[in-house]
Amino acid sequence: MLRKQIPLVNRREFFITVGAAGAALAMACNDDADSFAVEEPGEGIALPELPYGPGALAPYISENTMSFHYGKHHRGYVNKTKEIVAGTEFENASLEEIIKRTAGKTEWAALFNNAAQVFNHNFYWKSMKQGGGGRPGGRIAEKIRQSFGDYEKFAGEFAGAAAAQFGSGWAWLVQDGGALKIVKTSNADTPLEKGMKPLITIDVWEHAYYLDYQNLRSDYIKAFVDSLINWEFAERNLA
Ligand code: MN
């Protein structure tokens, strides 16, 4: 089992521990998966292994931010979700099933919020890679041209949505029917509830950028768009 208390001074050891103990979870975050589903029914909810090392996205996202964001926030949502589903009808449900069945139901608000945040963070880590960002090629480039006109219009609209999300939330590139769209969601909300297929997401909760950028959310968004987007992941998510 993973350790529950992680002293900050042992961040490196923490990631090594997670990496070893998380070997069985590697499938849950396999980049080759052809679906954005990161859990299968009955597998339970787990903290997936990161698809890269904790310092891989530096200098755009520091190892320090990763240690808190992945090691504490994401882990916290996973633990809380597991705690809430225990003994309920959702005990063996997949994340997507939980999200779709609890969305908008006040009696399940805590479960929805935590499960959706697990899904969102699983998706966020896979939306980035070292050496990513900038103008894509292949099928995703053609889709962007069809839906936005050109890459610059996409980049401007995506950055604008991420900057304009008031308070905590997310901005997404999604596929809705045949077209690509940019949407923003508040708090834990995801495009799944609206039947849209996520391709890429950026977390704009302050915990995602404050250690590295303080209040300069737009600098973090620019780094994400120019240097981090995993376009191969986006393309694999296309229907
Ligand atoms: Mn977050």
Per-residue pLDDT tens listing for the chain (239 residues): 333 333 343 333 333 333 333 333 333 333 333 333 443 333 568 999 999 999 999 999 999 999 999 999 999 999 999 999 999 999 999 999 999 999 999 999 999 999 999 999 999 999 999 999 999 999 999 999 999 999 999 999 999 999 999 999 999 999 999 899 999 999 999 999 999 999 999 999 999 999 999 999 999 999 999 999 999 999 999 98
Q: What 8-state DSSP symbol labels residue 49?
A: P
Q: Report if residue 179 sits inside a domain.
A: yes
182/158 Cα distance (integer angstroms): 6
Whole-number Å distance, alpha carbon 179 to ligand 1 midpoint, is 27
Cβ atoms of 36 and 62 closer than 8 Å:
no
State which residues form the domain around 147.
138-237
Whole-number Å distance, alpha carbon 127 to ligand 1 midpoint, is 13
206/215 Cα distance (integer angstroms): 8
Q: Report if residue 116 sits inside a domain.
A: no
153/158 Cα distance (integer angstroms): 8
Whole-number Å distance, alpha carbon 149 to ligand 1 midpoint, is 31
Cβ atoms of 230 and 132 closer than 8 Å:
yes
Whole-number Å distance, alpha carbon 50 to ligand 1 midpoint, is 14
Q: Report if residue 175 sits inside a domain.
A: yes
Query: Which pair of structure tokens corresponds to residue 30?
Result: 């396999």
> Total structural domains in the chain?
1
Q: Which CATH number does the domain housing residue 214 bear?
A: 3.55.40.20
Q: Report if residue 155 sits inside a domain.
A: yes
Whole-number Å distance, alpha carbon 136 to ligand 1 midpoint, is 25
Whole-number Å distance, alpha carbon 138 to ligand 1 midpoint, is 30
Q: Report if residue 108 sits inside a domain.
A: no
Whole-number Å distance, alpha carbon 168 to ligand 1 midpoint, is 9
200/39 Cα distance (integer angstroms): 18
Q: Report if residue 178 sits inside a domain.
A: yes
Whole-number Å distance, alpha carbon 11 to ligand 1 midpoint, is 18
201/184 Cα distance (integer angstroms): 9
Task: Say if pTM beats, i.e. exceeds, 0.85.
Answer: no
Peptide bond connecting 48 to the previous residue in cis, omega within 30 degrees of 0: no
Q: Report if residue 205 sits inside a domain.
A: yes
Whole-number Å distance, alpha carbon 203 to ligand 1 midpoint, is 6
Q: Report if residue 39 sits inside a domain.
A: no
